[in-house]
Amino acid sequence: CPCALGLDDCHPDAICQNTPKLYKCMCKVGYTGEGRKCEDIDECDNDFNGGCVHECFNIPGNYRCTCYDGFMLAHDGHNCLDTDECMFNNGGCQHVCVNTVGSYECLCKEGFFLSDNQHTCIHRSEEGMSCMNKDHGCAHICRETPKGGVACECRPGFELSKNQRSCILTCNHGNGGCQHTCDDADHGPVCGCHPKYVMHTDGKTCLETCAVNNGGCDRTCKDTSTGVHCSCPVGFTLQFDGKTCKDIDECQSNNGGCDHFCKNTVGSFDCSCRKGFKLLTDEKSCQDIDECSFERACDHTCINHPGSFECTCNKGYALYGFTHCGDINECSIKNGGCQQLCVNTLGDYECLCHSSYKLHWNKKDCVETKDPLSDNVSPKVLLHCIKSGGSDRCFLSCSPDVQVFSDTCDVRCARKKTEKRFRKTIRTLRKTVSRDQFRVRLSGTEHEVARKAPRPSEPQQSCAVGQLHPRCGQNFSAQLNNCNSVLLCSSLLDQCSPGEYSPDGFKPCVPCPLGTFQPEAGRVSCFPCGGGLTTRHSGASLFQDCETKVQCSPGHFYNTTTHRCIRCAIGTYQPEFGQNYCISCPGNTTTDFDGSTNITQCKNRQCGGELGDYTGYIESPNYPGDYPANTECTWNINPPPKRRILIVVPEIFLPIEDECGDYLVMRKSSSSNSVTTYETCQTYERPIAFTSRSKKLWIQFKSNEGNSAKGFQVPYVTYDEDYQELIEDIVRDGRLYASENHQEILKDKKLIKALFDVLAHPQNYFKYTAQESREMFPRSFIRLLRSKVSRFLRPYK
């Protein structure tokens, strides 16, 4: 069996069949040749276009039919049927969507007219400028002339008629309304049908024709020497009856190869990704969107997570509006814990003391300043080393009022043992003579001993009890008054716990007496409850331990003078029960109303202003957090000479529950009668791009005291007016918004930069290599741009 052993010389696209004598080679279906050499049959290269009524694409051993935009492939895999765009999201129309063969159009309700973007509607005005008048007479687009009249223009795919008002449909729009073929004539499109179809009486649609009912085939019917042969296009499988074609549900096998979601369609399938991921150009793989790579992602630190991201703030700052950081006013929180004065600084704060006081080592309490001349207190413990007989002798002396207790010996015994241990370690101490500090463990407590010789240039200074000496480590505090004497530094681990205090903040400590509390460790006093209030027990650590007359809920604070709960003022909040203060909002934020209970209610109200000449953002205040109530923002875009404005609205979130109390409007000037480019008071998650109807733009956003929402971040760019016709041709083409892939481009902050580069400067399209274009944009989007840009830049013949 030569075929089984691979000893044949058949072509890879041929089938080897054993014969009684040897074997024979036969080319596979879709190929031609004698078997040892097979060539692919181009099924599209014939008078019938492979049976495809629109476009035919040859593939190895087969072919595929595709349809123009606005059509979908019929079940037979060859014919093209009209797509009803109005069935999905109302076609993107604000009011009424009307489906047509190969396309659709938007209409407006009574009292409105269609804006230049052909999707949104603008309120009609009986008076005012001529294009705002309902009787301007233009079938599609109205332009105002410098002399005050009007000039009519038509949408892409239409031509202006001789009366300069009406618009004549051409084959460039929705295939001219023809189902199959379209040819332009003086009076409009002339429709035709594929040779295997006949024209319907409507002159636009085509009816199938097939001798003897297409041979009973579901899809392709082909006459052969042995009879009728039925076949199915790619994406379908022929059933056992040899005639019926069934759609293959590619999603049932390995999820269609999709990383995340797979949706089966007739003859094909679509992949999509979870939120926070984007579909790569292979249209199967999903990649995490690195939001941290975007400009303006976070004020301080951005942490990317799969499918999301997180913003964090530097120490001393608080997060608001999801991405912004504002300075925390620590002094608004219990006076920062300061005993006397508190001064807020950016990212930090500082406690200060009145005159005749010094700041305690804990940086919060204040201690009295003592006269160094009158400070003759002897050190409690003294380490003294002398050289005698060529050897060192060290003595640890305790003052009479200091006692060292031991289980096995008295003070004299402990002193001798300590001296003996010091003599054994003198050699090690001498090696570290260049160091200023070493540790002593006495009765289980670790101390740090510093020895410093007096310097003539340094004046004698005094350290008050509890002061942090510079020669003590961060975790130790000086215990001696004479700074030039030997220091014993107490470990901060020995400081008083919350609810306790002592004269120096270290043990031994006493509980806070009744009527006082102390929430922090290492303090020298306790805070009074105030207003004659007492506490349930001594050693209280929180104000909540004070027995108030009433229990205050979040958003309130307890007034110890009136013994009432007071609502937190605007610009402050309190998330806890039973507190005696409200916290100031971070940075330049404030709250919409009093009685706020959470930092999320703190919002930045800054917005508006003069925008850049070439590019920028129009952003609702506090974005991406909810915008504040009762706000009004006004922006102005004044492009340089001979430049026009292009705007993309990726998405906008405005609540509709309060009857358009929040709205965004773009028009020529602040006058309500001026030419309006865009106006909305609703949420639209479907993106849209449009050009300004005027050379400059006045933009206003207003909110009422009702519901709030995320708002918007709208990028804009200005471009050379020589490209006005091309830009409008692109942004008004419904195919720009037809697919989810195209919509995601207008929402992708990285791709929008590249898109703006091409839309604003079309010649820059050619600086992108074919490989870069394929990696950035879907193939359908590249085809859309290539045809328009190439046609516009091609020299006139």
Q: Are residues 476 and 506 in the same domain?
A: no
Q: Are residues 486 and 634 in the same domain?
A: no
Look at residue 725 and tell me if it is in a domain.
yes
* pLDDT 10s digits, 673-689: 899 999 999 899 888 88
Q: For 487, what's the count of Cα atoms within 13 Å in the CB-facing half-sphere?
A: 31
The pLDDT value given to residue 456: 44
Q: Are residues 484 and 442 in the same domain?
A: yes
Which whole number is the average pLDDT over 722-748? 77
Look at residue 271 and tell me if it is in a domain.
yes
Q: Which of 494, 529, 555 delimits the end of a domain? A: 494
The pLDDT value given to residue 394: 60
pLDDT classification of 380: cutoffs 50, 70, 90:
low
Q: Which of 288, 305, 336 delimits the end of a domain? A: 288
Least confidently predicted of 450-464, 556-570, 729-743: 450-464
Look at residue 137 and tell me whether its pLDDT is greater than 80: no
Q: What is the CATH number of the domain that holds 725?
A: 2.60.120.290
Q: What is the CATH number of the domain that holds 262?
A: 2.10.25.10
Q: For 364, what's the count of Cα atoms within 13 Å in the CB-facing half-sphere?
A: 20
The pLDDT value given to residue 214: 75
**Cis peptide bond upstream of 715, omega within 30:** no
Q: Are residues 470 and 501 in the same domain?
A: no
Look at residue 630 and tell me if it is in a domain.
yes
Provide the percentage of residues in the chain whose pLDDT is more than 70.
78
Look at residue 485 and tell me if it is in a domain.
yes
Token digits of residue 141? 């687009």
The pLDDT value given to residue 93: 93
- Number of compact structural domains in the chain: 5
Distance CA 729, CA 605 (A): 38
Q: What's the predicted TM-score (pTM) here?
A: 0.57
Look at residue 320 and tell me if it is in a domain.
no
Look at residue 783 and tell me whether its pLDDT is greater than 50: yes
Q: Which amino acid is at 90?
A: N
Q: Are residues 525 and 650 in the same domain?
A: no
Q: Are residues 644 and 532 in the same domain?
A: no
Q: What is the mean pLDDT of the chain?
A: 82
Give bridge partners of residue 392 from the DSSP assignment: 387
Q: Are residues 482 and 514 in the same domain?
A: no
Q: Are residues 485 and 510 in the same domain?
A: no
Look at residue 660 and tell me if it is in a domain.
yes
Torsion sign across C-alpha atoms 409, 415, 416, 420: positive
Of residues 226, 247, 243, 179, the one with CA closest to residue 207: 179
The pLDDT value given to residue 411: 62
- For residues 299 and 324, the answer to whether their CB atoms sit within 8 Å is yes
Q: Where are the alpha helices (DSSP H) in 227-312?
A: none
The pLDDT value given to residue 390: 61
Which whole number is the average pLDDT over 76-92? 89
Q: Are residues 512 and 420 in the same domain?
A: no
Look at residue 757 and tell me if it is in a domain.
yes
The pLDDT value given to residue 4: 81
The pLDDT value given to residue 664: 94
Question: What is the CA 171 to chain-centroid distance, rounded?
Answer: 42
Question: What does residue 455 show for φ and ψ, rounded to 5 degrees?
Answer: -110, 135
Q: What is the CATH number of the domain that holds 28?
A: 2.10.25
pLDDT classification of 769: cutoffs 50, 70, 90:
low
Where in the sequence is the domain holding 254, given as residue range(s)? 250-288
Distance CA 30, CA 56 (A): 15
Q: Are residues 392 and 490 in the same domain?
A: yes
The pLDDT value given to residue 188: 86
Distance CA 505, CA 273 (A): 59
Q: Are residues 668 and 764 in the same domain?
A: yes
The pLDDT value given to residue 294: 85
Give bridge partners of residue 66 from the DSSP assignment: 55
Token digits of residue 531? 């207003």
Look at residue 306 and tell me if it is in a domain.
no
* pLDDT 10s digits, 502-531: 988 888 999 999 999 999 999 999 999 999
Q: Are residues 647 and 788 in the same domain?
A: yes
- Strands (DSSP E) along 580-655, which ranges? 583-584, 590-591, 602-603, 609-610, 615-619, 632-637, 643-649, 652-653
